[in-house]
Homo-oligomer: A and B are copies of this chain.
Amino acid sequence: MNDQTITDTPLHAYRVSTPPDIDPAAHCHACSARFHAFCGALNDEALIRLSAMTTEMRFRAPQTIIYEDDSAEHAYNLCSGVVRVTKMLPDGRRQITGFLFPGDFMGLTHKDAYGYSVEAVTDVDLCRFPRDRLMSLFEESPEMERKLLAMATDELSSAQEQILLLGRKTARERLASFILKLSRMANGRGEQGDPVALPMSRADIADFLGLTIETVSRTLTKLGKEGLIHLENAHSVRILRKDKLEDVEVGADRDQ
């Protein structure tokens, strides 16, 4: 495992015009993800120190950003685009443990190696930090640690929801939950939550929901025929009956 296939050249697509040698954190202030990200919790001084250890990078889908079991030397902040977090079994079975969106943090671990891979679902921009230097920022900036704890707590709560979904929900309930979750998350980021964007493939959805692509496809078709959703195309779903879909999400539609 290595980074041979990685586009390693820093990229400044979202950096504002101010030259970095005058205000090194200027592009941070212009970063659209900053409001949701951990770096949004930092004061100007800390932000400048963070900026000094930051490498901005771009990956194109479906490049791998983090390789499972690789030495965990960097942490990343997702600025734009979508990534998937995956775990593999030796025989190739794959489980996606989550999709990450702008503002999300990757590489939080205090072990030596990453416990998962991260791959670009769409083209992505991200900020990369050396983990050891980032940790040392904790000393001066406890609000950063506070924010990371809050983010980890949220992720944990989301992981527990996913455990409930995988352990006890039917395929139908999983798909309803998935569509509603993506919709809510888009709303939370201030994006359009009704025609729900599904940037990932059916295979990704299947590996996230613990199903096969065929079951995902069939179940979406069925929800469409029942009039709960409308499949505008393979990657966009309109929610027609939010109330009914929310019933399906928790199995409240099984009695009639």
Report A's interface with B, CB cutoff 8 A.
85, 87, 89-91, 93-95, 97, 108-111, 115-116, 138, 142, 145-146, 148-150, 152-157, 159-164, 166-169, 207-210, 250-252, 254
Contact = CB atoms under 8 A, between A and B. Distances in A.
30 contacts: A87-B163, A89-B169, A89-B250, A91-B251, A91-B252, A93-B251, A94-B168, A95-B163, A95-B167, A95-B168, A97-B160, A97-B163, A97-B164, A109-B153, A110-B150, A110-B153, A110-B154, A116-B160, A138-B142, A142-B145, A145-B145, A145-B149, A152-B152, A152-B156, A156-B159, A163-B163, A167-B207, A167-B208, A167-B210, A168-B210
A37 B196 CA distance: 43
- The 4 lowest CB-CB distance pairs between A and B, nearest first, are A167-B210, A166-B166, A159-B159, A95-B167
Contacts of A161: 87, 115
A23 to B, nearest CB: 29
A42 to B, nearest CB: 16
A155 B149 CA distance: 12
A12 B76 CA distance: 46
A139 to B, nearest CB: 8
A167 B166 contact: yes
A157 B115 contact: yes
A93 to B, nearest CB: 5
Nearest to A209: B167
Contacts of A150: 110
Given A110-B150, A145-B146, 13 more contacts: A87-B161, A87-B163, A90-B251, A93-B251, A108-B153, A110-B153, A116-B160, A138-B146, A149-B149, A152-B152, A155-B156, A166-B166, A166-B167
